[in-house]
Amino acid sequence: MSKRVLTARTLTTESGAPVADNQNSTSAGVGGPLLLQDQHLLEKLARFNRERIPERVVHARGSGAYGHFEVTDDVTGFTHADFLSEIGKRTEVFARFSTVADSLGGADAVRDPRGFALKFYTEEGNYDLVGNNTPVFFIKDPIKFPDFIHSQKRDPFTGRQEPDNVWDFWAHAPEATHQVTWLMGDRGIPASYRHMNGYGSHTYQWTNAQGEAFFVKYHFKTNQGIRSLSSEQAAELAGKDANSHQTDLLQAIERGVHPSWTLYVQLMPAAEAADYRFNPFDLTKIWPHKDYPLQRVGRLVLDRNPDNVFAEVEQAAFSPNNFVPGIGPSPDKMLQGRLFAYADAHRYRLGVNHTQLAVNAPKAVEGGALNYGRDGLMAVNGQGRGAKNYEPNSYDGPAETGRPLSAPLAVSGHTGTHEAPLHTKDDDFFQAGELYRLMSEDEKSRLVANIAGGLSQVSRDDVIEKNLAHFHAADPEYGKRVEEAVRALRED
């Protein structure tokens, strides 16, 4: 008797059985009610109900691509990270870009920071660098983060983003003035993901082979040039194509126009941090380039689109705590909070075994990570028959190296809820004023108009006054112009 073999063109159920009819459900006679025995129908409907996973609370709407990072300059004096160990060395990378505040169904062309997340599949494990397209952020302590995001997302009563909530939070967070100036300025709406810079934003630590520690900030400068949209251009584009940034990135790569960025770093010897004029671990501050010049490291190129957006973009999991030898954390409070929060978000959304998904799996070791974690939802990596699930053991299981990834951080003092230590220039407004004074007259006019457009919609006068005080403190002209613009809009 001949054996019937399924071919690549045979439609099957989840269990692999061939499907006889995918157009008509099984019924009790012609026109009769449907039968519970129709396994194929029930399976299709049940799977359809479960196709979506919880979207990210922030950075929900995103796009991604694969590529590589190539070292162009020697940085071995600052870090012993293997993927940065020699000029010409290439490392596979997956990148994800995103808006921050809106949901998965939002538009790309909106005034919002952009996530800039990179996963380096290094020979020493995955290194995740999770930053934004801005070098600073709105807050400096992670305990404020849930409240900040609540103020920026949809109001639980009205179901929409409320200017009252947005500006009320900023009124009570003077440290946000610097980032607000960035967001409301000309770079607040990138024309595409290809035409924006990326920053690690946080301060990280590099350690060289001799154990010397350096604090580092990452700057990915777009080689396509900076291009941004005005508020009017963005509104028009969002109405025509809500997926404008996704469309641009996908089509550019498909036609062979591969976007690239040049990586530069700022490096501060660890001993200089305590006496620097700004707190070097404050996410609302930059390090001026005249103090710590940019040093070139390499080139990031994206040249391959994902085959499946859900599997590879939505399920991509980036965690700032994924370090490799030679790179580690700093005392940056926001970074410290994210070391927990990001990995925890992925365990909730994707399950404890999310690192076994192809886009997240390390490529350093054949078969995935080597450790003693077992089981859990969707576990697929059994670590081999008979492998022990405890350590230490007498069966040649994976063992510790005894070599720390980075230099230890010095700590002192008493436990407690402390404000960050003040450095000589550590106020909330100086750098915001410096940024304003760097702008051309046209840039200042657009900045003032963008701020006034939102602030004038706030219903409470005291909230408006608190925000105006921040702009006055940053620069008297800045504050005066915003105040006059807000007054004019409210009088109309």
Query: How high is the pLDDT of residue 5?
Result: 67
- Which residues contact residue 231 at a Cβ distance below 8 angstroms, ignoring those fewer than 6 apart? 111, 189, 450, 453
User: Please, which residues bridge with residue 218 across strands?
Assistant: 265
C-alpha dihedral sign at 24, 28, 29, 33: negative
User: Please, which residues bridge with residue 128 across strands?
Assistant: 119
**Would you say 205 and 330 are in contact if contact means Cβ atoms under 8 Å apart?**
yes
Query: How high is the pLDDT of residue 383?
Result: 63
Query: How high is the pLDDT of residue 1?
Result: 47
**For residue 77, what are its two tokens?**
């004096």
Query: How high is the pLDDT of residue 210?
Result: 95
Torsion of CA 297, 299, 305, 309, to 10 degrees: 30
Phi and psi at residue 143, to the nearest 5°:
-65, -20
**Would you say 175 and 284 are in contact if contact means Cβ atoms under 8 Å apart?**
yes
Residue whose tokens read 């946080």: 202
Residues of the chain short of pLDDT 70, as ranges, are 1-5, 381-384
**Would you say 201 and 136 are in contact if contact means Cβ atoms under 8 Å apart?**
yes
**Active site residues per annotation:** 59, 132
Query: How high is the pLDDT of residue 272?
Result: 97
Q: How many helices (H) and strands (E) does the chain have?
A: 12, 10
Query: How high is the pLDDT of residue 415?
Result: 78
- Which residues contact residue 143 at a Cβ distance below 8 angstroms, ignoring those fewer than 6 apart? 337
Query: How high is the pLDDT of residue 411?
Result: 81
